[in-house]
Amino acid sequence: MKPKNALISLAISAVTIYHSSAQTKSTVIQEDVSLTIKVEKVDSWQGKDVFHYVLDNGIMQVEMTNFGGIISRIIVPDKNGKLENVVLALEEIPDYFTKNGPYLGAAVGRYANRIGGAAFTLEGETYHVTKNNGQNTLHGGKEGFGVKVWEPEIYKKEDAVGVKMIYLSVDGEEGFPGNLETTLWMELTAANEVKLRFESTTDKPTVVNLTNHSYFNLNGINRDVRDHELRIFADAITPTGSGQIPTGEIRQVDGTAFDFQTARNLGTQMDALGEGFDHNYVTKRENSTELKKIAIVKHPASGRMMSVFSTAPGVQLYTANHVRNFAGADGKVYQPHWALCLEPEGWPDSPNKPEFPSTSLSPGGKYVHEIIYVFETEH
């Protein structure tokens, strides 16, 4: 998975890279050759300190915050070495407190995507969760994981630096059962990989489905993403009915506008569909721990390319259909189709579809989801 242009030799110095919530000033931790982290307390929210992190491997930078587990910027070079941000963003970290309706870059939970009727039955007991998408629940309810302050700790590995974050979702939060403790590792490697790993445990039977909701635009967010090429390693989707709730069918994509089994121009496929995409692709038929390449995105003009890996059984392709006149970072105003999301996750409405891969978690078990974004340039 190492890109051809990645630095692969590093000299790691013996330095502790930990900060507590009492830290209030900017700190730079320098690994001898290229790996650095900058940490700055920027504000507080609901009595908890909020930090801004900048991870740098000498080639690219990733900015993130412990508010919402948000990736706020990913800055990568094009084929000529020009550095640009490639994810939709807000200008400052405190802007995310109240202005992040589209979930830009957020850690999404307790249940990513939709639960039909905002209810499900688990081990004979019916639970009613918060309705925030018509009659359904979307991305965990009104105040999901993307608006919570996570407890952070910086860490280093042989070839990576990152931030470990922990959030405890208490029993009954947004209607979900069980005290669910989630740890999220977010790191940048020397090989231009942005790695995310979610691990959750519970003290009561519950459902859990976690992802990252970054909006990618590899042209540097200078126009829509119709000029991107997309390949998705999936031969089927889960079609939806009313309220975008899956019907239960698994439908083959061969020869349809949904077919990205070979690389296709996104604009051409959108024209064939007659609208933007907001659909779950079947990357696995059942749950497994296999880390699988699920998608490749290319922007031919800039040479930027991103590969996506995940252990989840599905990935939601969303082309920012409802982002309109949205004031983003750097004075840009985002419009429909100015980005695409590839949200690796369990299938939508799985708690109400016993034929779908299960998203249930019991005491003594562990939910694990790993996501990797790999950035390269083609010349």
- Residue spans of the domains in the chain: they are 27-224+303-308+321-377
Averaged pLDDT, 283-296: 98
pLDDT computed for residue 29 by the predictor: 42
**CA 244 → CA 85, 116, 248, distances in Å?**
31, 9, 12
Q: What percent of the chain has pLDDT over 70?
A: 91
On whether the CB atoms of residues 27 and 38 are closer than 8 A, the answer is yes
pLDDT surpassing 60 at residue 5: no
Residue identified by tokens 């390449």 is 293
On whether the CB atoms of residues 295 and 231 are closer than 8 A, the answer is yes
pLDDT computed for residue 330 by the predictor: 96
pLDDT computed for residue 34 by the predictor: 87
Question: Tokens at residue 73, please?
Answer: 């910027």
Q: For 26-38, what is each residue's pLDDT tens digit? A: 444 443 448 999 9
Domain 27-224+303-308+321-377 in this protein, CATH class: mainly beta
Strands, E assignment, 208-353: 211-213, 229-232, 236-237, 251-252, 264-265, 278-282, 292-299, 304-310, 314-318, 326-327, 333-334, 341-345
pTM for the full model? 0.92
Catalytic residues: 213, 343
Element (H, E) at 98: helix 96-99
pLDDT computed for residue 2 by the predictor: 34
Question: Tokens at residue 177, please?
Answer: 């059962």
Cis peptide before 110 (omega within 30 of 0): yes
